[in-house]
Amino acid sequence: NAGVMQNPRHLVRRRGQEARLRCSPMKGHSHVYWYRQLPEEGLKFMVYLQKENIIDESGMPKERFSAEFPKEGPSILRIQQVVRGDSAAYFCASSPDMNTEAFFGQGTRLTVV
Amino acid sequence: KQEVTQIPAALSVPEGENLVLNCSFTDSAIYNLQWFRQDPGKGLTSLLLIQSSQREQTSGRLNASLDKSSGRSTLYIAASQPGDSATYLCAAQETSGSRLTFGEGTQLTVNP
């Protein structure tokens, strides 16, 4: 049973480009969480999704950021028109239900140049 | 709004020493408290999870305690080893299925 898989592990984008970060949850997990870790800071919650539904997006920046978790396929965190301040490590976690602890992926390290 | 603080921010100890990492949270109405380890450039590894009804959890040389009334948790590491060098994060979960609120971590270095 593979763990939470995130790809790519490292992503470099120029300012103004779009970044797409993918998260494949563990088998049987239908709950996905995204967190961001800015340099020298702690992890901050961004969004909580279940299959095809956004449950809590209170941590998402209002503009340029969006997330989805379709019925089939991985969860996608999309950042449009990236800026240097978006450079961070983005972590995904998944759980099978609300009452079970979530397991984290290895993260995607986004660098905006 | 839940806030989680970890003290100290960094700690350097000689190998073999017992040590305590501290975590405090502002809202005592938590569902659980979790300790993670993060190695440089890597993801998070869950170490211990304490449910709100529990007082402590143990795994090998690690022991985590939880005092909800005072808003504190400690992670005790016995007989530290160089391989324990990492950043240790604590995180509070307010309700089942909700977000984790993380502290900024304690960066531990165990010197051989």
The answer to whether the Cβ–Cβ distance between A31 and B42 falls below 8 Å is no
The answer to whether the Cβ–Cβ distance between B103 and A44 falls below 8 Å is no
CA distance A61 to chain B (A): 16
Query: What was the pLDDT predicted at A74?
Result: 96
CB atoms within 10 A of CB B73: 27
B81-91, pLDDT tens digit by residue?
Answer: 999 999 999 99
8 Å CB contact between B36 and B44: yes
Banded pLDDT at A1 (limits 50, 70, 90): low
CA distance B93 to chain A (A): 10
Query: What was the pLDDT predicted at B96?
Result: 76
State the Cα–Cα distance between residues A102 and A34, nearest whole angstrom. Answer: 11
B88-104, pLDDT tens digit by residue?
Answer: 999 999 887 788 999 99
Query: What was the pLDDT predicted at A49?
Result: 95
A80-96, pLDDT tens digit by residue?
Answer: 999 999 999 999 999 98
Give which of A37, A41, A104, A111 to mutate to test B binding, by max B Cβ within 10 Å: A104
Residues of A in contact with B98 (CB under 8 A): 48, 56
